Structure 1
Amino acid sequence: MKAASLLSWLTTTLAAGVSALTIGEINGNRFLSPYNGQDASNVTGIVTAKGPDGLWVRSVRKGCDRHVSDAIYIYGSALAKNASINSGDVIVVSGKVSEYRSNKDYLYLTQITSPKVAAILEHGKQVAPKVIGKDTYSPPTEQYTSLDEGDVFAFPNNKSLVSAANPVLAPEEYGLDFWESLSGQLVTVKSPRAIGKPNKYGDTWVVGDWKTSGENGRGGLTTTPTDSNPEGIVIGSPLDGSKNPSDTKLGDTLEDITGVVYQAFGFYRILPLTKVVVVASQEPVLPSSTSLTSDGVCSGLTVGSYNIENFSPVDTAHVEAVAQHIVNYLKTPDLVFLQEVQDDNGAVDDGTVSSDLTLSTLAAAIEKASGGFAYNFTYVAPVNKNDGGAPGGNIRTAYLFRRDVLALRDPNPAGSTVANEVLPGGALKYNPGLIDPTNEAFTNSRKPLTAVWQTLDGNNTFYTVNVHWGSKGGSSSIHGDARPPVNGGVEDRIAQAEVTADFIAAILTEDPEAHIITSGDFNEYPFVKPITDFESRSQMEDLDAVAGIDVLERYSYLYDMNTQELDHMFESPANPPRCLEVSPALAKTKPQFEHIHVNTWVAYDDMVSDHDPSVAKMNLCSGRCHS
C-alpha cells in the first residue's frame, strides 16, 4: 500500500471513531504501561523481528524521545507462525496491553497479547537498528535504579519494588531505566566483548564500544563498591534458531550483534537475529604460575587457598586436575586452605562422613605430579547432612600441609559438635577444632575450622581459621523487582561473621602478638556488610589491601556480567605495616598476595573449579615484629 493509501485508510478509521494509540503512548515513560489491562485498537507498526512466540514492531514514525520506547513485543504464537507476515511489513493490530513476568521476583515486560491483525499496509519497509551508545544514550556504568539509593549492595535488601514505585525512567542515569527505555527496540551492539561465560543455553554477557567502568586487565568488569556494572547486557537465544557458542571466554571479541531488547528470566537481554560469532580471544589462554615460592623457612612461607568444588576421590580426572593446579600454578604451598572437600565416596548418600580417602588421594596425586612433595592433612568431619552442599557429599573445609615444613602443634582434634575454646595465654583447647558448630548461624553451613601450627625450623607458632560461609542461594536478580536486590543468605553470613570474628578477637585478647591467618570462601564481596563487619570486629587485615593488589584485579569468581571476589585471605594486625613502624628494616616481611585466574579465564568446560585459587607469602616466625 502506498503512503497516500495508508493516510487515506488511517483517516477513514479515525473518522469512524476507532481509538488508536501509538506504541510510545502504550509504553509510556515508566516501567509499567499506563494502559496495562486495557484494549488497544489499530496499533500500527513495522515488524522488525519474529520469534517463536511473537513478533516485535516499531512505530512507523520513529520516536524522538529517548526516554520512551516506540517499539513493543506482540505475543501470539499463531501470529509468529503466520508466514504472510515478515520483517519489514507494516501491520495494524489490536489486542490487550499486558505486563508479563514468569516469576514474582522479575521485572515486567510490557506487551500486547491476544493480537488480531486488521491490515498489512506495506511490505519491505526498512528499519535501521539503533546503535547503542550512538543512537541512544550510552548505558550508565554504575547505578541500576534510583530505588537503590546509590548502593545496589545496601543492607537491608528489598526495601522497595520497581513494580510498586514504577518510577519515571531516567535512562541517562540508571541502567535498568536505560534498558527499559529500549524495550522491544531493534538494536546493534558495535564491537562487542564477552564479559562472562555462556550458561547452558548459550546466553552470554557482553559490552559494546560504549564507556564502561571497572574494566580489569582481562577485559572483564570487576564488581566494586556501589558499582555492579549495569552497562553489561546478556545476549540470549538467536531468533533464527541457531545456537550461540558454548565455549566463549572472558574477554573474547565478537562480531557486531543485532537483535531486539527483551525482558525474560530476570534480566534484560538482547535476542540476536542470529548467533554470536567469536572473532578473537585473549592471550595467553591461561595465567602465569604464581611468582610466590616458599623459602622453606618461617620468614618466607607460602599459604594457598582453593575452593575445589565438590571434590571427591570418585572423580579421578578432577583429582588430577586439582593436583596439577596446586603443583603447577600454586607451586606447592607450605599450607593450603581447602573448601568443598567431600566425604570418601562423594555424593553417595550412605552416611559416610570421613574424608581420609578423599584427602589422601589428593595428597598422593600432588606428590606424584610434583615429583615428591609430600603433604599431610587435617580436618574435622561434619555431622551427616548438616553442612549443606551436594546431597550426600558432606562438604567441609580442610588443610593440606607440607610435612617437611609444618606440623600441628600438640594435636588434639575435637568432635564435630564440640566447640573449640581459647584458653588463657591464647592456646586452643582443641587442635584442630570447629568454631561453635551448634550455633544456629551455621545451620546447614560449614563450620570454621581452626588450627595451631608450628614450623619445623624452630619454635614458631601461628593460628589459622578456614571458612566457607553460607551460600548466596535465594538471591534475586540484580535486574529484578526488589531494590536493593535480595542478597541470599546475607543474614546468615552476618551472624557467621560475628561468631568467627569474636573467636579471633578472643585469641588476640589473650595473645596480642598472635599471628592469625583466616582464609576461604566467604561467599561475599569485600565491601558488603558481612565482610566489613568481620574486619571491624576481628581487626583482621585484608591481604589484597596489605599487598596493594589493584582493586580491579581483586577477583576469584565470574558470575553473570561481573568478575567478583568471594574468596579472601586476612591476617592479624601484628604483621606489617605495624611492624614496619618498629623496624623499617623488616620491610621485606610485608606479605605478598596473588589471585591465580586459572578458572575465570578459561571456557566453562575447561574449568577445574568455579573459583580461582590464591597464594600468599609471609613471615610466619614467632616474634616477627622484632629484628
Structure 2
Amino acid sequence: MTSYIPPALRGRRARLIALSVALPVGIAGSLVALPLTAQATPSADAVIAEVYGGGGNSGATLTHDFIELGNAGGAAFDLTGWSVQYLSGSPGATTKWSVTPLSGAIPAGGSYLIQQAKGTGGTDALPTPDATGTIAMSASSGTVALVHSTTALTCLTADDCAADAGIKDLVGFGTAVVRETSPATGADNTHSVTRDAKLTDTDNNSVDLSGATPSPRNSAGEGGGTAPGDGDPSPTPSPTNTTPGDVRIHDIQGKTRISPYVGQSVTNVPGVVTAVRSTGTSRGFWIQDTKPDNDPATSEAVFVFTGTTTPQVKVGDSVLVSARVVEYYPGGQASGVQSLTELSGATTVVLSSGNELPAPVVITAKTVPDKYAPKVKGGGNIEALPLKPTKYALDWFEAHEGMRLQIGDSRVVGASNSYGETWVTTKPKQNATPRGGTIYKSYDDVNSGRLKLISLTGDQITANVGDTLTGTSTGVLDYSNYGGYVLQTTTLGKVKSAGLKAEVAKKGKSDELSVATYNVENLAPANAQSKFDRLAEGIVTNLAAPDVVSLEEIQDNSGATNDGTVAADKTLAKFIAAIKAKGGPSYEWRSIDPEDGKDGGQPGGNIRNVFLFNPQRVSFVDRPGGDATTPVKVVTTTTKDKKGKVVKTEVSLSASPARINPTSTAWNSSRKPLVGEFTFRGQQVFVVGNHFNSKGGDQPLHSANQPPVLSSETQRVAQSKEVHAFVSDLLAKDKQAKIVVLGDLNDYPFSKPLDTLTKGKVLTDLIDTLPKNERYSYVYDGNSQTLDHILVSPAIKKPGYEVVHINAEFADQASDHDPQVVRIK
C-alpha cells in the first residue's frame, strides 16, 4: 500500500473466518509476514491463561484490568521470585517493561489471579486477587510475560525476547510487536484474550488465545470460567423455559449505534439462525427476528459470539438466546472504528429446525443513500446520534447490521485479494472510472455504493476491477475494522470478465527525458524471482524503459531479517539483472543507505528511495558528501568578467545523491527524500524521490468519528514543508531550474500535504492535469485513489504524463501501486 502494515493491524473476525486461517489495511495494501517471533518451549505447567486490559473502560463491566495464570501440571507451581511484566504493543527505544512481583503458588490444575489498574467505569469487582499490581494495560494491544525474575526485562523485539531464558511464557495481543509467532486477536473493552480450558500452548498466540468474555478466576476457584483440565464446558441443559422473553432483537439494536442494553443480560431472545461461522478464532452465528417492528432505524438481526467454540446450531433453527449484550470494536475502540452489537457468553435453546429464513433485503442502485455519513460540527463521535437510514449510507448499513441482504449483477471496483475479499458497487453510475472502478474525488464524496464481499461458505472468486459479479449474491451484513460493512455471503454470483488489460506508456522521443516513479512493495533479495521478473517487465514494457526511475521500498540485502544490515546493493543488482534480462537497459543506481531502523517500513527491512538511470541516455552528477544524516544544500557558483561583473550564475547540489534535512523530526521513522542532479543533453535536471510516512493510524472512512481523525497527516504536512523549502530555495537561486518531485506521497491531490507542497505554485501536481475520473494510481477498499504523484517546476513546459495501470486494478499484482511516468523536452 503505502508503507509496511503488519498483518496484525489488518486482522479481524471477518477475515479470520472467511479463510479459516489467521490474518489479514487497506487503512489497506502491502502485506508482508513479520519474521519476528518470540518462542519458548511450550509449557506443560504454568502459562498465561487470560489477559484483560479493558477494566473500567467504556462498556466494560469489570472495574480492573487483570492477568490470570493457569497451571496444567499435576503439582503446585511455586511463584516465589517470579513476576508478570507488561510492554506496550508498539515499544520505542526507551519503552520500559512494567513489573508486578508474585508470591504464593498456582494450584495444580488451578488458576492464579493478578489484579491490575482500575479504570473509571465498570460495576463489578474482580474475585479476590492472589496478587495486585498497578499496571494500566491497553485494552487492544500489548504484551504480557511470565518471568522467573522480578527485574524488568530489557528486550524490545520479539527476537530478543525469544532469546531471554527468564521468560517462561509470553502473550502478545492486538498489534503487539513482541509476541509468540502471531499476536492473539479479539481483545477490546469487553473482551479478553483467553486460552482454552486445557491451557493449550503451541507458542503461537493467535492459535492459543482468542477473544472471549472476561472470566477472571483466582487460586481458590472463585470467579468465572472453567478450571484448567476440566475439559470442554458442559452441554447446554435441556430448557425448562421455552417462552420468548420480552426483549427482541430490534430492542437490543436500538435506534443508535450503541445498544440501549449494552452491558446487560437478556433472556430468551427469539430468532432464526440465518448463517453460521464455524471456523477460525471468532466463531458464532447470526439470528434474525421473524416478527420485525416497523422502525427502519432498528436492525432485526444480531451476531451471537462463541469465540473458538463451534456453534451447535444450524441455519433454519428457531432459537432462544440468553446472553450479555456487548459492543465489540474490531481493532479496538482507540482506532476510531464503529462497534458491532453482539450477544456474548450465550446459552442457546433450539426450539425447532428447518424453518424458512426471513426474506433478504434487496439492494438496488437506489437503496443505499448517496450521502455517506453524518457529520459532527468540528468533528466528533456519531455513536449517540439517532440513525437516519434514508439519509446516510453508514446509517443505512448500521440499521441493517446482521440482517440478510441480497445484491444482483454488480460491477467489481476492488479486485479480489488473497484474503478472499472482493469489492463491488451497488451504484454503477457513482463516480465511475473509464476502466470500471470508482474514483475517490474528495473527503466529502466517499462512494456510498461500495460493499465488500467475503464468502462464509469458502467459495472463492478471482475478479479484476471492471468485471461483473453476475446473478445474485446473498449473505448477512457484518462489520470489520478494515473496510467497514461487509456482506458475509452464503450464496455468491459468478464472475464475468471485462477483459481488463495492463496499460503501456508511450515511448519517449529521443529528445525527451522520461522520469518514472514506482513503489515496488518491499523488494528484497529473498523475494521470488517471479516478482523481480514481473516488476522488470513493468519497467521495460509497460513504462517503456524510462531514462530515470525513482523507486520506493527497496529493502536491504537481508530483507526483513533484523540483523543490522543497511546496504541494498544485492537487492538492486538482482533487480537490474532482471530488467536487463527483459530486454531493458543496463541501469546504474544511486541511493543513500539509511541508519539502521530509522526509516520506518517493515522492521529490519530498511526500505529506502533509489534512483535507477540509463547511462546511455542520461548522466548522473556525482558529488561527494551525501550520507544518512547530512542535509543537502543548494550551492551557487558565479563567474565574473575582468571588471568583476557577474556574467554567469550556476546552481548545483552540495552533494549528489543526498538527502533533504534528514535529521528533521519530520522524517522520524520515515523515509528521507533522495535528491540527485542529472544531466540530459547538456541540461541540468534535479530529481527528488520521496516516500512520505504512511497513513497508518488515521481513522477509517467508516469511523465512529465524522469526519475521521487523520492523525498521520500532521507528519506529512511537515514533510511537505521540508521538500517545499528545498524546492523554493533552488528556484530562488535559479528560477529556470528543472525539478521533478515524485514518489509515494501517501496522500490525495486534495489533501493538506499536497496543498502544502504546491503552495506558491512552485510545483504543479501532474495528476491534476488528468480528467477527474482518471486521477488514481492505487485502489483501496473499492476506492480508486491517488497516493503516488509526479510534480514539476514551472520551467518544465508541456510535460507528457501518464499513470500506467498495471497493478492496482488486478487480482494478480506485482505491487499494489501503479507506476507513473513524465516525459520532458
Q: TM-score, normalised by structure 1?
A: 0.82
Residues of 1 paired with 2:318 and 2:627: CA distance? 74
Matched, 1:270 2:487: yes
Aligned partner of 2:514 in structure 1 is 302
Residues of 2 paired with 1:524 and 1:272: CA distance? 33
Residues of 1 paired with 2:319 and 2:626: CA distance? 74
Matched, 1:162 2:368: no
Which deviates the most, 469-478 or 606-615?
469-478
Residues of 2 paired with 1:497 and 1:339: CA distance? 17
Q: Which amino acid aligns with 1:475?
A: D
Residues of 2 paired with 1:451 and 1:55: CA distance? 58
Aligned partner of 1:153 in structure 2 is none
For 1:354-373, list aligned pairs within 5 A.
354-370=567-583, 373=585
Residues of 1 paired with 2:284 and 2:567: CA distance? 55
Q: Please tell me whether the aligned partners of residues 423 and 451 of structure 2 are also in contact (alpha carbons under 8 angstroms).
A: yes
Report the secondary structure of 2:675's partner residue.
strand
Pick the aligned partner of 2:763 from 532, 536, 540: 540
Matched, 1:595 2:803: yes
For 1:427-446, list aligned pairs within 5 A.
427-446=652-671
Q: What whole-Å deviation, never above 9, does each CA across 1:407-449 have from its counterpart, x for those lacking one? A: 1246335122111111235422112211001111111211111
Change (3 A) 1:201 1:358: closer
Q: Which amino acid aligns with 1:476?
A: Q
Q: Which amino acid aligns with 2:380?
A: S
Residues of 2 paired with 1:48 and 1:359: CA distance? 53
Change (3 A) 1:142 1:335: farther
Residues of 2 paired with 1:392 and 1:126: CA distance? 52
Residues of 1 paired with 2:597 and 2:298: CA distance? 52
Residues of 1 paired with 2:617 and 2:308: CA distance? 72
Residues of 2 paired with 1:428 and 1:310: CA distance? 29
Q: Which amino acid aligns with 1:130?
A: V
Pick the aligned partner of 1:221 from 421, 438, 450: 438
Q: Please tell me whether the aligned partners of residues 557 and 565 of structure 2 are also in contact (alpha carbons under 8 angstroms).
A: yes
Q: What whole-Å deviation, never above 9, does each CA across 1:40-99 have from its counterpart, x for those lacking one? A: 44544344333334433333334433222223334457997445x641x54454444332
Aligned partner of 1:32 in structure 2 is 258
- The percent identity for this pair of structures is 32
Structure 1 residue 142, shift from structure 2 partner: 4.5
Matched, 1:69 2:299: yes
Aligned partner of 1:401 in structure 2 is 613
Change (3 A) 1:329 1:488: farther
Change (3 A) 1:538 1:358: farther
Q: Please tell me whether the aligned partners of residues 409 and 472 of structure 2 are also in contact (alpha carbons under 8 angstroms).
A: yes
Aligned partner of 2:325 in structure 1 is 97
Listed as ranges, the gaps of 5+ residues in structure 2 are: 1-240, 637-648
Q: Please tell me whether the aligned partners of residues 222 and 563 of structure 1 are also in contact (alpha carbons under 8 angstroms).
A: yes
Pick the aligned partner of 1:558 from 756, 773, 779: 779
Pick the aligned partner of 2:369 from 127, 140, 144: 140
Structure 1 residue 212, shift from structure 2 partner: 5.0
Q: Please tell me whether the aligned partners of residues 445 and 469 of structure 1 are also in contact (alpha carbons under 8 angstroms).
A: yes
Q: Please tell me whether the aligned partners of residues 286 and 302 of structure 2 are also in contact (alpha carbons under 8 angstroms).
A: yes
Aligned partner of 1:244 in structure 2 is 460
For 1:455-534, list aligned pairs within 5 A.
455=680, 457=681, 459-487=682-710, 489-534=712-757
Residues of 2 paired with 1:338 and 1:117: CA distance? 56
Which deviates the most, 353-362 or 412-421?
353-362
Q: What whole-Å deviation, never above 9, does each CA across 1:496-544 have from its counterpart, x for those lacking one? A: 1111111101111111121111001111111111111111156210112
Aligned partner of 1:128 in structure 2 is 359
Aligned partner of 2:817 in structure 1 is 611
| Equivalent residues, number | 561
For 1:151-190, list aligned pairs within 5 A.
159-163=379-383, 166-190=384-408
Residues of 1 paired with 2:513 and 2:753: CA distance? 29
Q: Which amino acid aligns with 2:753?
A: P
Structure 1 residue 237, shift from structure 2 partner: 4.1
Q: Which amino acid aligns with 2:298?
A: V
Structure (1/2) with the larger helix percentage: 1
Aligned partner of 2:645 in structure 1 is none
Q: What whole-Å deviation, never above 9, does each CA across 1:538-565 have from its counterpart, x for those lacking one? A: 62101122xx312222211222222221
Matched, 1:197 2:415: yes
Change (3 A) 1:180 1:452: same
Change (3 A) 1:350 1:174: same
Residues of 1 paired with 2:497 and 2:794: CA distance? 42
Residues of 1 paired with 2:428 and 2:390: CA distance? 13
Which deviates the most, 414-423 or 68-77?
68-77
Which deviates the most, 606-615 or 406-415?
406-415
Which deviates the most, 477-486 or 400-409?
477-486
Pick the aligned partner of 2:630 from 403, 418, 441: 418
Q: Please tell me whether the aligned partners of residues 347 and 390 of structure 1 are also in contact (alpha carbons under 8 angstroms).
A: yes
Structure 1 residue 594, shift from structure 2 partner: 0.9
Higher relative contact order (CA 8 A, sep 6+): 1
Structure 1 residue 360, shift from structure 2 partner: 3.8
Q: What whole-Å deviation, never above 9, does each CA across 1:149-204 have from its counterpart, x for those lacking one? A: 5xxxxxx9xx42334xx111122232221110111211101113332234443132
Q: Please tell me whether the aligned partners of residues 192 and 257 of structure 1 are also in contact (alpha carbons under 8 angstroms).
A: no
For 1:305-384, list aligned pairs within 5 A.
305-315=517-527, 316-370=529-583, 373-384=585-596
Q: TM-score, normalised by structure 2?
A: 0.63
Pick the aligned partner of 2:468 from 245, 250, 253: 253
Report the secondary structure of 1:233's partner residue.
strand
Residues of 1 paired with 2:760 and 2:406: CA distance? 49
Change (3 A) 1:170 1:423: same
Structure 1 residue 566, shift from structure 2 partner: 0.8
Residues of 2 paired with 1:113 and 1:369: CA distance? 57
Aligned partner of 2:100 in structure 1 is none
Residues of 2 paired with 1:111 and 1:37: CA distance? 11
Change (3 A) 1:125 1:385: closer
Change (3 A) 1:82 1:322: closer
Residues of 2 paired with 1:117 and 1:302: CA distance? 67
Change (3 A) 1:390 1:54: closer
Report the secondary structure of 2:748's partner residue.
coil
Q: Please tell me whether the aligned partners of residues 312 and 319 of structure 1 are also in contact (alpha carbons under 8 angstroms).
A: no
